[in-house]
Copies of this chain bind each other. A is one copy, B any other.
Amino acid sequence: MPRLYVLVLSGGAGTRLWPLSRKARPKQFLGLLGERSLLQDTVDRVSELVPDERIFVVAPPEHRGLVYEQLPELRTDHLVVEPYPRGNAAAIGLAMAALAAFDPEAVVAVLPSDHVVERRDQFRKVLISATAAAEHGHLVTLGITPTRPDTGFGWIEAGDALAIDAPVEVRAVRRFVEKPKRDAAERMLAEGGHYWNAGMFVWRVEEILRAYDEHLPQTASAIHALREAIGSPRYESVLAEVWEETDRTTVDYGIAEKAKNVAVVPADIAWQDIGSWARLAELVQKTDNWASDEQVAEDAHGNYVWAPGKLVALVGVEDLVVVDTPDALLITPKDRAEDVKKVVDRLKREARDDLL
């Protein structure tokens, strides 16, 4: 894999994991599943394939310190700073400029920093296959094998297999399906050949730059200007100037759904995103009520408790999420866990920056 690079996307806010996930330390920086943070785990996961000096990270300025703290092996010039959020098409484009300047022949895997992958060997095979397809000129998405008729993800319908020699079959993409209705999701699950779009991509840098040129010309011209400026004292002022000209969209909508050369590698890798406390609870609950230490439950079942260093006593309650931090405590039923976003929105309106 001589040319494979990894770009880790670390721009997410993780508000649905409030009050643990905060503006100053969003979920990807937290050890939600063990000692290593989700960000560190994202890098660990590819370390057998990709040496440290080929890791890039894109993150907002306020998280530079955390990124370097958690990834001491990261090259200083491989942290790409996104001035403020303009959608992942702009953030990824910005990182592509850096990558193109560093190695115009690069193949790069774009990986969000808040995913969990349990079948790590299979993930590497998928990545090797996607790299092979990318070297043939494809924009490759990883298509997660669906395990339920989830209406929260976009789906990908795969077409014919492509003639690419790889450990996992590479297929053409017939179409992208935006977050479907329940019955459509059930049909796709039953039918097979449909996958979740998890926002993981592999492509040659020059290929994705061509796609920006074609589908997102505003962002493309920003990328070209940045690529020229990288390493020079002009970079910061060029960035300040071009950033606000970029298209506000995602790579999925802005490029993948429009490009003709998109391929998919089915990824049966026991994948999860950690989108909410309820999802995290499914993933890590060790005993009936607790994510961490054993505590006191009297006639209490199925609760998820995160409260390190504190004894939590549950009496007669079921299926609650309880998250305790030094300055904020959240209590909600698992099936309302998505509404934590509303709490965060309220705190924003009330300018409670101390709690965000």
* Chain A contacts to B: CB under 8 angstroms: 18-19, 296, 298-299, 307, 310-317, 320, 322, 324, 326-333, 336-337, 339-340, 342-343, 346-347, 352, 355
With A310-B327, A327-B310 in contact, is A315–B298 under 8 Å at CB?
Answer: no
Contact across chains for B296 and A339 when beta carbons are under 8 A apart: no
Contact across chains for A296 and B331 when beta carbons are under 8 A apart: no
Q: How far is the CB of A292 from chain B (nearest CB, A)?
A: 13
Return chain B residues, CB-CB under 8 Å to A19: 311, 313
Q: How far is the CB of A320 from chain B (nearest CB, A)?
A: 7
Contact across chains for B333 and A317 when beta carbons are under 8 A apart: yes
Pick from B312, B313, B314, B331: contact of A314, CB below 8 A: B331
With A298-B342, A347-B296 in contact, is A315–B328 under 8 Å at CB?
Answer: no
Contact across chains for B311 and A346 when beta carbons are under 8 A apart: no
Number of copies: 2
Interface SS of chain A: mixed
Q: How far is the CA of A337 from the CA of B311 in the complex (A)?
A: 17
Q: How far is the CA of A346 from the CA of B296 in the complex (A)?
A: 8
Residue of A311, A317, A333, A347 with most partner-chain B CB within 10 A: A311
Q: How far is the CA of A29 from the CA of B310 in the complex (A)?
A: 23
Q: How far is the CB of A279 from chain B (nearest CB, A)?
A: 16
Q: How far is the CA of A86 from the CA of B203 in the complex (A)?
A: 80
Return chain B residues, CB-CB under 8 Å to A298: 339, 342-343, 346
Closest to A324 in B: B329
Contact across chains for B331 and A315 when beta carbons are under 8 A apart: yes
Could you jot down 23 A-B contacts, CB within 8 Å? A18-B313, A298-B339, A298-B343, A299-B339, A307-B329, A310-B329, A311-B327, A311-B329, A313-B328, A313-B329, A313-B330, A313-B331, A313-B340, A315-B331, A315-B337, A315-B339, A316-B332, A316-B333, A316-B336, A317-B331, A317-B333, A322-B331, A324-B329
With A296-B346, A343-B296 in contact, is A311–B328 under 8 Å at CB?
Answer: yes
Q: How far is the CA of A218 from the CA of B240 in the complex (A)?
A: 91
Q: How far is the CA of A342 from the CA of B313 in the complex (A)?
A: 10
Q: How far is the CB of A14 from chain B (nearest CB, A)?
A: 16
